[in-house]
Structure 1
Amino acid sequence: LISQFFKAVKKTFPEAWDKKLRPHTSRLIHGAGIVAMGYVMEYLFNRDNARTFQEFRAGIAPLEERTAWTDKDGSWYFGDEIRNWNSIQNTPKDIQLLASYLLRCVKK
């Protein structure tokens, strides 16, 4: 299940998942990104009964144009707050902010 989800993440965000990158160059492979995407995985599993690569890929598709995992992606637009791509930190507050945003995007 977990491997199927992260296989879909890798396919959806290949530049942000590149094995040459490190947490300081991609927030997707940063602690905050991994934990926040875990919330997305759980949501898709519960809402859609997602278990396969294809099901998870379809579920995270709405995130493609709404994320700022790397410097090439720009900024995060959290409603009334705009944050630089790399300002997301591995803190409970930032993880919750990111997870809530990602969940809102996949729920639309």
Structure 2
Amino acid sequence: MNGDAPDPDAANRIARSDWSTADSPSEAVVHAVAAGTDVDPVELDPLQKYVDVDALDALVRSASDGLHVSFDYEDVGVFVASAGTVEVYDEPLDDE
């Protein structure tokens, strides 16, 4: 996980959602990735294989509006902002 904002020139956003209306930020990530990749959420790998979902949820819920977390999931890039948004990009965001 890192806090770098995605480079809009490097990847195209394929989905965006508001995690503040979901049960949890991690649940919103799964649904946004499913929507962006046109895959049923139950067909996706468990998010826990990619990121500690409890830590993700606690971090973005408790942080100021300036915090951003990004990671790769199911061959796409995910960007979660403490301001309440989830963005999904058509390619991984991490260089590692």
Give TM class, smaller chain: 0.3 to 0.5
Identify, as 1 or 2, the structure richer in helix.
Answer: 1
- Structure showing greater radius of gyration is 1
Say which structure, 1 or 2, has more relative contact order (CA 8 Å, 6+ apart): 2
TM-score (norm 1): 0.32
Identify, as 1 or 2, the structure richer in strand.
Answer: 2
